[in-house]
Amino acid sequence: MEANNIIIKPRGCSLFLGLFLFFAFSASLADAETHYHDFVVQQTPVKRLCRTHNIITVNGQFPGPTLEVRDGDTLVIKVVNSARYNVTLHWHGIRQMRTPWADGPEFVTQCPIRPGATYTYRFTIENQEGTLWWHAHSKWLRATVYGALVIYPKMGSSYPFPQPNHEAPILLGEWWDRDPISVLRQATFTGAAPNISDAYTINGQPGDLYRCSSKETVRLPLDSGERILLRIINSALNQQLFFSVANHKLTVVGADAAYTKPFTTTIVMLGPGQTTDVLLTADQPPARYYMAARAYDSAQNAPFDNTTTTAILEYKGACSTKKGQSSKPVFPRLPAYNDTPTVTAFTSRFKSLTTAKVPTKIDESLFFTIGFGFFNCRPGPRCQGPNGTRFGASMNNVSFVLPSSNSILQASYQGIPGVFTTDFPASPPLQFDYTGNVSRALWQPVRGTKVYKLKYGSTVQIVLQDTSIFTIENHPMHLHGYHFYVLALGFGNFNPVTDTAKFNLIDPPVRNTIGVPTGGWAVIRFVADNPGTWLMHCHIDAHLTWGLAMVFLVENGAGELQSIEPPPADLPPC
């Protein structure tokens, strides 16, 4: 088993379709391509941390294949499930305009692909450029089933920043020294927090600071003076990560497939799900430099994996000393694990490159609390959470439960009752001091499969408010089917009077995943112009498993191209 970032070239692009597009549409569309890929989900032996693990991969590759497309292209990915688990794949950050059937979260937009079954995901990239990624969206399979999705500008257009000499996806991952599905199974049984990971990885490799790993450490060669674009993706299951490269400045130029006003930093922090594109110039003495990532841990008194993953930036000709021995790479300075001020300083520098079209008249003003909760239960092996409870998490006190008889999308499309209810609350059932000392009486959420309905084209504002139930924590909140403007971030309880004045309505960053500050809030806005059922959730899978999620049901519009397409014929049955 081999291969980091093998790049799959489009296979058999249809000449006929190309010609058809050329004649049928304007010349600007003539360059749009259709890329066909086969993704075989399978069990693959890989050696990590001194022993062989049988992990689930796509095509035997870990990380999985990098998808490379241009804005406007269409992807057709035939997934064959040769593994022993149900699986679905999600194209994280792709808007899926009118194609919610291709989004992927199991029991939200589709039923899972059973072992032995096949499903073809078909979707078009519309007005997105930059770095996204794909991952499994079933149980914890994404621990090993993920890869980069790189969207280049349309043919004939270029980056809004200096052209790099090289580009490299940097996939940050999280590794357990056992089957991650069994880690999930154990936590689901006991009700306790899942075991922490044993390593982090860069492009699938833990690096020099772990046992039996240094031979395989990822190396990035470059020449003095060259400029490289690092497409950093946090594909870790449960951990926010700091990233830095020794002695080199990083110029941020994009995040979540949206360009940003360039700014220079030495530290990047990404929550699970987020991507950040940075330019790095080889302007240091020729030598070897570590790039390294380790945890940003914003919770209080919770165990976390405090190890550090490394890869090596290697100036050509600097690989060895005169004696033929490798010189020790320089190590970067990483912030303390709990360095929230560094995170705040970094996050507050994000601005969109161009002036934004932020909606100012709001149809739906929503306020969602996000945080932990606990289910009381009878003492026993299944109640090993704090004080004999089971861990939970909720939004507006609703702990989200996935349906199992059908997907929410199919149930809503076919009008099948009993799969979900439409009473997700617009605000918490009770107002309280969210980040203060919350009374234990408010610690218990209610389970439900509740969606919030949105009219086509309505303008939506959501205040995402962390709670201090059990602990405050930074939650990377991800919305499927959309990207959104981040108007403001802050600490404590959101104050509609004083905090509204701080909104950036000029050039707020566009994201699909926002880290809500620990013990704080974030305000986001979007226009509900994409019909379908769209999961919003914490991208920390432990929290998603506990119910930190909800679903928006965006209704069809009346106009042309404002309704979802009919379901594909091969949509997996439940």
Which residues form the interface with ligand C2O (CB under 6 A)? 90, 92, 105, 135, 137, 273, 478, 480, 535, 537, 539
CB of 539 to ligand C2O, least distance (A): 6
CB of 536 to ligand C2O, least distance (A): 9
Strands 484-491 and 146-152 come out as unpaired
Strands 510-511 and 166-175 come out as unpaired
48 vs 90 by CB, closer to ligand C2O: 90
Task: Measure the CA–CA gap between 47 and 45, rounded to whole angstroms.
Answer: 7
CB of 135 to ligand C2O, least distance (A): 6
Mapped to the 3 state alphabet, what secondary structure does 297-315 carry? CCCCCCCCCCCEEEEEEEE
> Which amino acid is it at 185?
R
For the chain, how far is it from start to end, CA to CA, in angstroms?
34
SS3 155: coil
Instruction: Name the residue with the smallest CB distance to ligand C2O.
Output: 92
Nearest to 230 by CA among 274, 313, 170, 306: 170
CB of 430 to ligand C2O, least distance (A): 28
145 vs 463 by CB, closer to ligand C2O: 145
CB of 475 to ligand C2O, least distance (A): 13
228 vs 233 by CB, closer to ligand C2O: 233
137 vs 450 by CB, closer to ligand C2O: 137
35 vs 478 by CB, closer to ligand C2O: 478
Nearest to 522 by CA among 505, 544, 499, 542: 499
CB of 379 to ligand C2O, least distance (A): 34
> Which amino acid is it at 144?
T
Task: Measure the CA–CA gap between 83 and 139, rounded to whole angstroms.
Answer: 14
Cis peptide before 63 (omega within 30 of 0): yes
450 vs 539 by CB, closer to ligand C2O: 539
CB of 107 to ligand C2O, least distance (A): 12
130 vs 191 by CB, closer to ligand C2O: 130
CB of 453 to ligand C2O, least distance (A): 20
CB of 273 to ligand C2O, least distance (A): 5
227 vs 480 by CB, closer to ligand C2O: 480
CB of 506 to ligand C2O, least distance (A): 29
Contact 473, 518 (CB under 8 A): yes
Task: Measure the CA–CA gap between 199 and 218, rounded to whole angstroms.
Answer: 15
Q: Check residue 101 and give left, alpha or beta (phi > 0: left; psi -120 to 50: alpha).
A: alpha
Contacts by 429-437 with C-beta closer than 8 Å and gap 24+?
429/396, 429/397, 430/397, 433/493, 434/369, 434/371, 434/465, 434/466, 434/467, 434/468, 434/493, 435/466, 435/467, 435/468, 435/472, 435/491, 435/492, 435/493, 435/519, 435/520, 436/468, 436/493, 437/468
273 vs 547 by CB, closer to ligand C2O: 273
92 vs 543 by CB, closer to ligand C2O: 92
Task: Measure the CA–CA gap between 143 and 55, rounded to whole angstroms.
Answer: 9
